[in-house]
Each structure stands twice: as structure tokens, then as C-alpha cells.
Amino acid sequence: MSVIRIGRNQDCDLVLDSPLVSRYHAELEVGAEGAWLRDLESANGTFVGGRRVSQAQLRAGQGLYLANVHLIFDGQRLSEDGAHSAVGIEVEDVCFRPPTASRMLLDHISFSVRPGQFVALVGTSGAGKSTLMSLLLGQQAPTQGGVLINGQSSFAHQEQFRHLIGFVPQDDIVHRVLPVEAALDYAARLRLPADTSLEERQRRVEIAMTTMELGHRREVAISRLSGGERKRVSMAAELLTEPSLLFLDEPTSGLDPGMEKKTMQLLSRLCRQGRTVVLITHATQNIVLCDQVALLAPGGRLVYYGPPRDALEFFEVPDFAEIYLEIGSAESGVVWQKRFNKVRPEAELHPAPAATGAAQAAARLPWGTSWRQWWVLCQRYSHQILADRSNLMIMALQAPLIGLVLSLLFDPHLYDLRQISGEVSYPIKEGPTLLFLLVVSCLFFGSINSCREIVKELPILRRERLVNLRLLPYFLSKVAVLSLIGAMQAALLLAIVQLRIPLHLPTLELQLMLLAFLIAAAVGGTLLGLMLSCLAGSAEQSSSLVSVLLILQLSLSGAFIKPEQMLPALRWISCVSISRWTFAGVGSVAGLNARFMELKMGWITSDFYLPMKPLWGLIFPLLGIHAAIAVAALRWREGQSER
């Protein structure tokens, strides 16, 4: 039996020079019982028959993918398939109508994109360009017909092809507060295998910056770049993995004519390097740089596909602006579609059977990959927070300012035990009020810090999910970093208040327990804020909803109305209110009921009698429920974004 090791490392029997191939990616065992290919827990998978496998038996002549490299098995060994190194697309008689729609969004579209071509999808607003691109990407299945990448369905094999494809949406897919080089380095750490060395990763980042002519802007924050430069940073992030097929949605939107031409020239240069590039554009000034142009009319009708210069002759107009006028209505679209079908070669009109088979489910990544993603995301998120100086200053000032106001608002002898015997006449009932304000402040810290953090970066999340990002590491990175910030704010708040108003807790353990309840309130606020960030339509909406959230928490905390005096429905809702149990926790730690028993202050809530262990037995599951609801909301939001 012979064993052939395949990977990126130079000591492999078959060395594959691709950034997505792991150092030791797979092994081929050839013996009397046949040939078996085994994946060595690679980062980006081994695909046989279009599906990711841990092992598979091979037959002579069979093709397979290791990450983005296509190989052919000849019965004894594997070799790279040069014919598949470049990627072509076949769109064959594609129609598309969403289940809830009453009309077709795409109507019998057929065209071919040869490997290495530069193709533009052009048309009026609402003509179906974005819908067509989603089909090309394999995000949706056509109602009729098929979209084939190198002869295989893009939808049924989307997990396999995601390593071949780069996609730059309209929105930026990098964080604007980060410098260019740092943003690309984090992207590389998430997209490249874990065994990629620092030197190799830096080399990939440098190549991407050089290709996009960004080397001189490496230390500049992306927010300070021009629109064209920001778009090129997004393109550089896609080039880190050297995709064979690159899709771009409106890459020249909002650019001045000079920057538009430069962007189109850069894309044309990528095609000359062997990549296939497909873009959506409304700008036609530099459309002649494309090899082919697909013109779509209202109703999703293809009215022309061919060289850009020939389009002017076909429509008998002097420039592309006139073409828009010619195809601007659904009726004219029908006329031009028929006219184009008469003159195009018959071979381009044959229908293909509709793509069958369900989309591949994303393969489960090893837990080591998830933990690595979580750690990289925590580092990136921390870098974002530190780089956003204005927001960082606001977060840094929250606890000191509120702590200072609270310490000046109440009497410094508020918690002196001698007040119980009547030596001091200051109203003792304000003791619970201060503790309640501490809890509410920590809830506020958590919710206000987190309420915009997911909704504001949904385009980035969607793109990274298409690559390899897991949802749970992403969510937990937000929770970890924001909870740490909330814990620091809670500790600072408590320290400032106690400088003037000592709580007279006899042991360090009780001091730490009080802080722990305040941190729990901050973590609960963080989870509630992240939940709002998933459900809200914008960062502004999410910020507005925080006030509603805090009022509900105030009302159900038991600080104003005892839970037993609430309506039954509200009493049940208060049982899952994080403010109620954290307020009960700080009251129990401070021993308020015991301290004030002699005054017979019946308005103090009975929750203060609860021992510490049962309280934590309530709070930990409650935080878990909040986290589960927030993750469910994030999954729902992701599903909404894909529609």
C-alpha cells in the first residue's frame, strides 16, 4: 500500500500552493482494496462528489476539490487539473420567481461566462441584477433552469464552491475604525487555515494591498479613506484567499469618474491574471473595459449579451445612456428580448434541466476552529473599541459621572448601623434606593454599550458567514468583550460610591459578592442590548428601544411595587427580569431587612430574605435564557437578511 500526503507544506508528496489548503490537508492510500482519500481535519475541507467528506473511496478519472484546488485521480495518484484552475459559468434558461411573488423576477436567461472573462450585469433599477447575482453565487436556487460553475450546480454545491468565490457587496465588508493593514490581517486570520504562519499571512496581506494599490495607506483608518479606496480594501480582503471567481455588487457606485475608471482597470487587470470577474454596475462610461455585458430589462429579461461595443450597434444608439431609454419599460423589454433571441446563436438558447438536489448544509467545523474564531473575533472587537476614540471616551466616563452623582445625592452615613437605634434621623429607607440605582446603572451600561453592535455590522457578518464564520463564536465574542467592559464599569461605579458612602460590609467576601451581582446586572443588560441589536432595523432604532427596555426593567424589579402585589401576568414576567433578582442579590448582601427590622419597614421587598446560593441558582439560568433568546434573534435576523 502506498500513502501519498497532500498539503501546502513542502515535505508533502503532493504540494499544493494555495492559501486555503492546510499544511497537511489529506492522505491518499492506494492498495489492493482500492484507493481511499482521508481528510486530515483540514480547515477548508475535502470535497468528493460535491460533498465535504472525512474519507471517500476514489475511482480512476474522478475529480475532487481540496479547498479551492481541483484534482484528478488517475487510478494511482492525484494531479492538479489545469482545466479547472480557471472558472467558467453557464446560465441556462434560468427563471426565478420567489414563492410569495406573483411574477417572474428573471425570465428565461441564458449566457456563458468563459474563464478569465470580465462581465458586467447592466440594466434599469428593478431589472433583476441583484437577484441574478444571488443565483450565480448559489445563495438561491432558480425556479427553472440551472446555474453551473465548471459544470456543477452553484446552488447544490455552494459549500464546495465557496472557496472558489470572492464576493464584494455594496456595503463595506471591513470595519471602518481599523487601519487598512490591521483590518486585512484580521480577515486573513479568519479566512486562512490555522496553520498559516505569521510570515505567510503577512505576505498574503502585502500581496493583496499591493494588487489593490493600497500599500501607501496601510496605517490609515479605513474611515479616512475615499470611497474608491474603501471599496478596494473590501476587494483586497477577498483577494487574500486568491479566489478564481470574483463577484462585485456596484463597486463603482458613488465614485468620481477618475476613481471609477481606475477601479474598472484594476478589475480588468485581475482578469488578465486568470480570474473571472462579474460585476453589477449602473455606470457605463468605462463599460468598454469589460469583455462581455449582459443587459437586463424590467421583468428580468435578457435583451443583450455580448461585447460592449457591439451593443451600441445592436440597439442602433450612439451611447449606453440611450440603451437605458430603449429598454426602460416592461413592454419594450419583451420586444428587445425577442429581437435578441432571433440573432443570438441557437446553441445559447437550449434549456438545461432545473438544478436538483438540496443545497449542501455547511459542514461542521472542528471545535478548535470555533475557539480560534472566537479568540480572533475578541481581539478584533477589542481593537475596534480602542480605535474608536470618541465612543471609548463616552464609555470611560459613564461610571465615574454616574458614581459621582450618586455619591453626592445620598447622605454619607446612609448605611451606618447606628441609624437603627434612632441616633441619626436621616430617612433610612433611602438605603434600598441607592442599591437599586446601582443595579439600574449597571443594566444601563450593558444595554447601551451593546444595543448597536450587531445591527451596525450586518453586511460584514453576512459576508463572513458565507466564507466560514460560525454564528456562536461571533456572538460570544461580543458577549465576552462587552461583559468585561461592563464588569470594569460596575467595579468603578461601586468603588466611587463607596468612597463617600461606605456600605459597612464586614468581610471581603461580601464586598465581592455585591460586585458580582452588579456585574450580573451588566451582563444581563449586555444580552438584552444584543437582543435588541438583532431585532432592530437600524442602529438608531436599537438605541431608541433601550429606553423602553430599561423602563420595563425598572417597573418589574420589585423596587416600587412588591411582586406579590402585581397582576399575575406581570408577576410571572418579573420572574424573568434580571433587574429583580440582581436587586434582590445586592439587598440580601447588604442585609437590608436585618438592618432595618426594628423600624418594621414593610415596604422592603421579601426578595431581600433570599439566601445567596438560591439567588445565583436563579440568575445563572436566567442569563443563559437571555443568551439563548439573543442567539435565536441573531439566527432569525440572518435568515431575514438572506431573503
pLDDT digits (tens, 9 = 90+) for 346-355: 545 554 444 4
Q: What is the pLDDT of residue 562?
A: 76
> Residue 519's pLDDT is what?
97
545, three cell numbers: 428601544
Sign of torsion over alpha carbons 611, 613, 614, 620: positive
What is each CA distance from 403 to 398, 400, 530, in whole angstroms? 8, 5, 25
Strand order in 78-80's β-sheet? 51-53, 46-48, 63-66, 69-73, 78-80
H or E stretch at 221: none
pLDDT in the model for residue 40: 94
pLDDT of residue 102: 81
The per-residue pLDDT for 603 is 44
Grid cell digits, residue 144: 427553472
pLDDT of residue 301: 95
User: d(Cα 445, Cα 486) in Å, to the nearest integer?
Assistant: 6
Q: Output the pLDDT for position 563.
A: 77
**Ranges in the chain, pLDDT < 70:** 83-85, 345-368, 417-429, 592-611, 641-643
Q: What is the rounded CA–CA span in Å between residue 163 and residue 66? A: 10
Q: What is the pLDDT of residue 361?
A: 47
466 near 438, Cβ under 8 Å? Answer: no
Q: What is the pLDDT of residue 588?
A: 83
Q: What CATH number was assigned to the domain covering residues 2-80?
A: 2.60.200.20
Q: In what order do the strands lie in the sheet with 276-280?
A: 152-153, 144-149, 89-96, 106-113, 301-306, 292-297, 118-123, 276-280, 245-249, 165-168
Give tens-digit pLDDT for 454-490: 999 999 999 999 888 999 999 999 999 999 999 999 9
CATH topology for 89-164+244-348 is Rossmann fold (3.40.50)
